[in-house]
Structure 1
Amino acid sequence: MYKVIHMTRGISVLTMAIGCISTANCFAGPHGYDLHNTLSPASGGMAGTSLARPQDISSTVFGNPATLTQFKGTKFSFGATFYMPEVDLTHDGSVTGTAFSENSGTDVFAVPNTAITQDLRGLGFPATLGLGLTAVSGIGAEFRGNPGSLGAGAEFIILGVNAGLGYEVTDRISLGFAATISFAELDLGLSSTSAATHDIGLRGTFGATYDTGTTMYGAYYQTELKHTFDNQVQTSANSYASPDIEQPSNIGFGIANNSLMHGNLLLAFDVIHKFWDDAKFWQDVYDDQTVVSLGAQLTRGSWKYRIGYGYGDDPTDTGTTGPIGGISQVFSNVGPIPLNQQVTQYIQATQAEVIYKHRLTLGFGYKGFLAPPIDLDAHVGWQFKEDRDYGTGSLPGGGHTNAETYSWHTGVALTWNF
């Protein structure tokens, strides 16, 4: 009887892990699982640095909107980045009832990058409009191939449509605002305690830049992005929970300097602080996180060569005890199962393991690709392997679950200049 209850508890644990945390492997990066231009056409080759002087229009539309004023004329960009996460999990069986080791079965994910900017100076208005579409956040995992995982698998993807305006207050100072309308879809792949659903959210971004001539300073603030998933998780025989899941508010600061090598060498630095600890739902598994990025771009004729490095601290909340998102229990065929500390730590390990710290990127651009008004940008990136133990158990590191993860990405885009 104990074994049956123990196994059922394990199923409920995974149900909650998939149903509420919705996993953290697809698109996950040093910014938790938020992207922040790390997969953009040009910024992707500079570790995402783009808050002061972005090098592609997707990064200005989805980054600091004040930088829109740096783009003249009409520009249209279309491209995609392919992202591949790798996650190896080892569990001692103390939570699920079955020990297992498995690699996530997720395939390569395609992230769209489409943007357009329109300079309004020809109309006598010192401003630039920007529109764009991309994935702003995403997570997912696939462990169904291993019976010990009890069929774990899910995806949570947030697409954002941005509309922004950058206004040139003076020759040196610009201000900007952007609105994000998001579409979030949560596919749980379960049949009894949860269901697939979606929601629409809204976020605002406020930014400013200051130009000294050779050095550009930029800063921005993003509000929280909230989604409510109606009747997502069964909590009793006749009731369901509708958790609020918020992407955190963010504050960022950037510097970019092009005074070296006759203006042909651009050096950029960004720092972003993410308020995970104030975001509903994620505050129960993450702490606040600070991410720094360094990027460089060398221009040689029509060619631009890029390199970048990013570092983000591990946001895992080591003091978490549950519940998660205000949900203290889930309901299975044997009754309610409490979300205690052991269960919550297991969820962190299997579904919220955004433990990447180091990222290295390379990229290039070519002006006049195929035709004079068309530019090409491409990049590759690697997030170095990290691992950690969660909870207390019989694994060599002392935990009940170990997560080892790394990832790579590559992308390309064409930009038309009118």
Structure 2
Amino acid sequence: MGQKQKKAIIGRRAGRLAGLKTSGAGRIVAAAALTCATGAAHALNTGTDMNLSFKPASGGMAGAAYTKPQEPSAAVFGNPATMTQLRGTNFGIGAAFLVPDVDVHQSGAGGSRTSSSDARNYVIPDTAVTHEIGGGWFLGGGIELDAGIGVDYRDDPITVPSVSTDPGVSGLPLLVELISFNANVAAAKQVTERTAVGAALTIGFGLAQLGTSGPSGSFGGLLGPAGCEPATAGSCGFDGNTSSVHDVGFGASIGLTHRLTSALTLSAALKSPVKYKFKNILHQSAVGSPGFQDLTVEQPLEAIVGMAYDVTPNWMVEADVVWKNWSSAETYQDVYDDQYLALVGTQYRTGPWSLRFGYSYAEDILRDTPSNTLGNLRGLGPIPLGAAAGSLGTDVVKLVQMTLVPVIWQHTIAAGVGFDLTSNVRVDAFGAYGFKNEEQRTTSIGAALAGPVGPETYEAEVSAWAVGAGVNFRF
């Protein structure tokens, strides 16, 4: 969508949008303190995964910490072989504060409108410990928020044309909330003077919601059961069809580091998927017998290679490449493609200070042509998905891409600082910004639902801020 068209749309909507909340207040960044997460969050640019980009020290290097991490959590949850670099006992605790900003611009037969997500403020806790037990062996463990995503359009519904006794634009109060906590237990061995190996076991705990919640206006009368009239839309079962559910999943990771020279270290790691089966998460009345459906969500397989180079004893540069197998991860494979991430970070130490900078680039993650369902769901309320829906299902999933899973920013910059309070205690802080990016999909959802009307275009506009802080203890 061109800038002129955007300005025209915004102008036409100015009167009706005057009462909408602006995102400015939501962008005020406060210092993060350790607390429990209240929900899921958009990762900075790694799909729904957090990777290492929200940890107190690694966050300042844009997550480039798979080869020479600066904190125990990055070792336990990144490449477990790197625990051998953390001599003695290391304990870290911290949190990050994330502010995603998601706007969806809709234009077409239903007029033009902008819907903004209310899910903006999230806290991401992080803690881990490593210990050198002797004989070249190291143990570690920790708890982190590994993955999550959250958007909420209940106060500002996504719109499509509809058939109604009062024709016009109907609202879809869509929302999604996914959070995945990981608890890792890890071990590492210094095999030779230059080579180390490690492995970790992961126990995941996932919480999820997906669907609609709240009134949907005349849209509730579409494709409802026989005898369901628009005037009685509330009885059609579309006003709210999601439930809050949870599950437990398991995974593992292995890693290797090799010091090629006194200055250059190479690394490789592999992280298995963690799969959750969320039972009775979404109700449908479109195909066969009405009822709740299960949805399996799988955080993807990851392969990582990296290198770190000590330019001087006080200046280190690291570069890592991460490959994410979204195309084989259940449910995500319906909306996402495989993805490469390039992470570059540097740290310079001067006196008690550690200065950090980083940049990351992510490939475009959204599939050009998505599936016609999500994880074999048969329907979304009264709207069919899968084989029974045909092209309508694909259009609905395109809408999902633009509204529920638009993790589309590709460029992220980060900066951080560490300060040694004593020889045993260091405090770290970071800030990061995911630059605004836009994607759009054109659908025929209006024609399918409302009759002979033109196509609808949905454009997602997304950016994000994050800050974090923590304390690291060395004994």
Same fold (TM over 0.5): yes
Distance, in Å, in 1 between the alignment partners of 2:204 and 2:272 is 13
Alignment-derived partner of residue 169 in structure 1: 191
- Whether 2:174 is the aligned partner of 1:152: answer yes
- How much has 1:157 moved relative to structure 2? 0.8
- How much has 1:102 moved relative to structure 2? 2.1
The answer to which of 153-162 and 324-333 deviates more is: 324-333
Alignment-derived partner of residue 17 in structure 2: none
Does the Cα contact within 8 Å between 1:291 and 1:313 map onto a contact in 2? Answer: yes
Alignment-derived partner of residue 375 in structure 2: 325
For 1:236-275, list aligned pairs within 5 A. Answer: 236=285, 237-258=289-310, 260-261=311-312, 263-275=313-325
Alignment-derived partner of residue 110 in structure 1: 123
Q: Decide whether aligned partners of structure 1 residues 399 and 335 sit closer, same or farther in structure 2, where only a CA change above 3 A counts.
A: closer
- Whether 2:364 is the aligned partner of 1:307: answer no
Does the Cα contact within 8 Å between 1:25 and 1:353 map onto a contact in 2? Answer: no
Q: Which among 69, 84, 101 is matched to residue 84 of structure 2?
A: 69
Q: Which among 338, 342, 345 is matched to residue 288 of structure 1?
A: 338
| CA offsets 1:194-238 (integer angstroms, 9 cap, x no match) | 311000111100110001321111110111110001122224444
Does the Cα contact within 8 Å between 2:128 and 2:143 map onto a contact in 1? Answer: yes
- How much has 1:100 moved relative to structure 2? 2.7
Q: Decide whether aligned partners of structure 1 residues 230 and 392 sit closer, same or farther in structure 2, where only a CA change above 3 A counts.
A: closer
Alignment-derived partner of residue 271 in structure 2: 222
Does the Cα contact within 8 Å between 1:93 and 1:100 map onto a contact in 2? Answer: no
Does the Cα contact within 8 Å between 1:132 and 1:162 map onto a contact in 2? Answer: yes
Distance, in Å, in 2 between the alignment partners of 1:101 and 1:326 is 30
Does the Cα contact within 8 Å between 1:227 and 1:244 map onto a contact in 2? Answer: yes
Distance, in Å, in 1 between the alignment partners of 2:459 and 2:250 is 36
Distance, in Å, in 2 between the alignment partners of 1:142 and 1:269 is 35
- Whether 2:155 is the aligned partner of 1:141: answer no
Distance, in Å, in 1 between the alignment partners of 2:96 and 2:41 is 13
| CA offsets 1:282-316 (integer angstroms, 9 cap, x no match) | 11111100000111111111111010000001110
Distance, in Å, in 2 between the alignment partners of 1:25 and 1:358 is 21
Does the Cα contact within 8 Å between 1:92 and 1:393 map onto a contact in 2? Answer: no
Q: Which among 457, 469, 475 is matched to residue 400 of structure 1?
A: 457
| CA offsets 1:150-172 (integer angstroms, 9 cap, x no match) | 32233111111111111111111
Does the Cα contact within 8 Å between 1:291 and 1:311 map onto a contact in 2? Answer: yes
Alignment-derived partner of residue 9 in structure 1: none
Does the Cα contact within 8 Å between 2:243 and 2:282 map onto a contact in 1? Answer: yes
Distance, in Å, in 2 between the alignment partners of 1:166 and 1:331 is 49
Distance, in Å, in 2 between the alignment partners of 1:186 and 1:151 is 17
- How much has 1:48 moved relative to structure 2? 0.3
**How many residue pairs were aligned?**
383
Q: Decide whether aligned partners of structure 1 residues 66 and 384 sit closer, same or farther in structure 2, where only a CA change above 3 A counts.
A: same
Alignment-derived partner of residue 46 in structure 1: 61
The answer to which of 232-241 and 72-81 deviates more is: 232-241
In structure 1, what residue type is equivalent to 2:409? Y
Does the Cα contact within 8 Å between 1:310 and 1:358 map onto a contact in 2? Answer: yes
In structure 2, what residue type is equivalent to 1:246? E
Alignment-derived partner of residue 16 in structure 1: none
- How much has 1:335 moved relative to structure 2? 12
Alignment-derived partner of residue 413 in structure 1: 470
| CA offsets 1:374-395 (integer angstroms, 9 cap, x no match) | 111111000001011112479x
What SS class does the counterpart of residue 280 from structure 2 fall into?
coil
Q: Which among 441, 448, 460 is matched to residue 390 of structure 1?
A: 441
- How much has 1:327 moved relative to structure 2? 1.9
- How much has 1:119 moved relative to structure 2? 0.8
| CA offsets 1:62-84 (integer angstroms, 9 cap, x no match) | 10000011111111111111111
Distance, in Å, in 1 between the alignment partners of 2:180 and 2:317 is 31
TM-score, length of structure 2 as denominator length = 0.76
In structure 2, what residue type is equivalent to 1:231? N
- How much has 1:333 moved relative to structure 2? 9.5
Distance, in Å, in 1 between the alignment partners of 2:308 and 2:101 is 33
- How much has 1:359 moved relative to structure 2? 0.4
Distance, in Å, in 2 between the alignment partners of 1:30 and 1:49 is 13
- Whether 2:425 is the aligned partner of 1:374: answer yes
Unpaired segments ≥5 residues, structure 1: 1-23
In structure 2, what residue type is equivalent to 1:145? D
What SS class does the counterpart of residue 340 from structure 1 fall into?
helix
Sequence identity, in percent?
Answer: 31
Distance, in Å, in 2 between the alignment partners of 1:137 and 1:401 is 26
Distance, in Å, in 2 between the alignment partners of 1:403 and 1:63 is 31
Alignment-derived partner of residue 131 in structure 1: 141
In structure 2, what residue type is equivalent to 1:112? P
What SS class does the counterpart of residue 399 from structure 2 fall into?
helix
Alignment-derived partner of residue 253 in structure 2: 205
In structure 2, what residue type is equivalent to 1:309? Y
Alignment-derived partner of residue 353 in structure 1: 406
Does the Cα contact within 8 Å between 2:183 and 2:202 map onto a contact in 1? Answer: yes
Does the Cα contact within 8 Å between 2:243 and 2:281 map onto a contact in 1? Answer: yes
- Whether 2:269 is the aligned partner of 1:233: answer no
What SS class does the counterpart of residue 243 from structure 1 fall into?
strand
Answer with 1 or 2: which has the greater Rg. Answer: 2
Does the Cα contact within 8 Å between 2:51 and 2:146 map onto a contact in 1? Answer: yes
Distance, in Å, in 2 between the alignment partners of 1:132 and 1:106 is 27
Q: Decide whether aligned partners of structure 1 residues 330 and 145 sit closer, same or farther in structure 2, where only a CA change above 3 A counts.
A: closer
Does the Cα contact within 8 Å between 1:25 and 1:87 map onto a contact in 2? Answer: no
In structure 1, what residue type is equivalent to 2:68? R
Alignment-derived partner of residue 218 in structure 2: none
